[in-house]
Chain A
């Protein structure tokens, strides 16, 4: 499979701080890639380098097979980009904004644009500056979808949107799902919104990539394990490295196993806690996986 986005050792420093530190990332064509991280983890800086808005201090990024610093109108015409802090030409009406964007994209589809307009319920005669935040984001998405881009880059698109607009946004975005090799790279700290959409997940923390794998692998290997242990049982000094945030409260041992193997994981618990009983194993949501990892990063750095 081809990668639509590829970075190698991508680094961006602001003074002494590395906002993005030696980031190596690959986004396979045809995927919806969720790029997750807490606020300030480096998501926006990464995306700005991909879009050639910021120059990398070192390392490089490729987008649609071209070095990001040499991105040309030809590539930009195949990329849709919607960002939380994007500046729009506020003095234009929605109609003027559409007319302004249209000539830049040879693949602009008028019929599709019209359909999106109706779907997003956007008033053509209103100036962008008079629109609500949700309306602005929809206008921005509309002008990024209407030319059926091969790659859609969304930087925290849901911030400040009410649930109804979020829903419209996702529906709109999925209008493109009929396209063959359509790829979405979406950064978010809002995991619930992307949980079932993403088939790839990357997690960034303090500027470096902590995890990148397919959503199904992730769901297979993470499990919450709980069991009942004897009175005043303590955790081993060095718990198995695949255990995240093991804790004992009362008679309950709870942990997140990040390499679950049916049978073997339970046996490992029994060998460390011979009296353990009532072992229950439950799958985790993407949010729970993220929280378990984030708590681990805080502890181990």
Chain B
């Protein structure tokens, strides 16, 4: 196939209902933290983001603007958009990335009528398994 496609340096698994731009911003931040995107890496243009993710160009624009605003991307005339900051500067910012997941975990745990300690225990198990 001659079809030109561009691999994106991050992955988005879209979930119904949550704002698309937030989901993409989240995926980019995650890639920056895990090293998939590093300082100086080129960031895809609005058109490519929109084409590859099949999202509205206005949404893609919003994503880039939000990331530039947070200092994670920088627009260099002539070069395009590049990754400015290898990782969010503080631990606080990094842990904020977990916000949605933690909320979901707590909701699920409460639905299952688990105690706080049960949840901590479950997290510990997984943490140790993966480290």
Cβ-defined contact, A219 with B54, below 8 A: no
| Interchain residue pairs with CB less than 8 A apart (9) | A119-B2, A174-B47, A174-B57, A196-B20, A196-B59, A216-B19, A278-B111, A283-B18, A285-B16
**Within 8 Å of chain B (Cβ to Cβ): is A27?**
no
The interface centre, meaning the residue of B14, B18, B19, B56 with most chain A CB atoms within 10 A of its CB, is B56
Residue of B nearest to A222 (CB): B17
Give Cα distance in the complex from A284 to B57, angstroms: 22
Cβ-defined contact, A283 with B17, below 8 A: yes
**Within 8 Å of chain A (Cβ to Cβ): is B50?**
yes
Chain A contacts with B in 198-253, Cβ cutoff 8 A: 198-199, 216, 219
Residues of A at the B interface (CB closer than 8 Å) are 30, 32, 118-119, 121, 168, 170-171, 174-175, 177-178, 196-199, 216, 219, 278, 280, 282-286, 288
B35 to chain A, nearest CB (A): 27
Cβ-defined contact, B18 with A196, below 8 A: no
A204 to chain B, nearest CB (A): 21
Chain B contacts with A in 42-59, Cβ cutoff 8 A: 46-47, 50-51, 53-59
Give Cα distance in the complex from A216 to B107, angstroms: 24
- A121 is contacted by which of B3, B16, B17, B58 (Cβ under 8 Å)? B3
Our count of residue pairs bridging A and B at CB distance below 8 angstroms stands at 63
Q: Which residues of A contact B5 (CB under 8 A)?
A: 171
Size category of the B interface is 20 to 34
- A175 is contacted by which of B16, B17, B47 (Cβ under 8 Å)? B47
A-contact bits for B1-40, CB 8 A (1 contact / 0 none): 1111100000000101111100000000000000000000
A285 to chain B, nearest CB (A): 4
Residue of A nearest to B16 (CB): A285
- B55 is contacted by which of A30, A197, A219, A278 (Cβ under 8 Å)? A197
Give Cα distance in the complex from A95 to B44, angstroms: 33
Residues of B at the A interface (CB closer than 8 Å) are 1-5, 14, 16-20, 46-47, 50-51, 53-60, 107, 111
Q: Which residues of B contact A30 (CB under 8 A)?
A: 58
Cβ-defined contact, B111 with A280, below 8 A: yes
Give Cα distance in the complex from A174 to B58, angstroms: 11
Q: Which residues of A contact B2 (CB under 8 A)?
A: 118-119, 121
Give Cα distance in the complex from A219 to B15, angstroms: 12
Give Cα distance in the complex from A280 to B18, angstroms: 16
Cβ-defined contact, A284 with B50, below 8 A: no
Cβ-defined contact, A174 with B51, below 8 A: yes
The interface centre, meaning the residue of A118, A177, A216 with most chain B CB atoms within 10 A of its CB, is A177
- A198 is contacted by which of B19, B47, B51, B56 (Cβ under 8 Å)? B56
A121 to chain B, nearest CB (A): 5
A273 to chain B, nearest CB (A): 17
Q: Which residues of A contact B20 (CB under 8 A)?
A: 196
Give Cα distance in the complex from A282 to B15, angstroms: 11
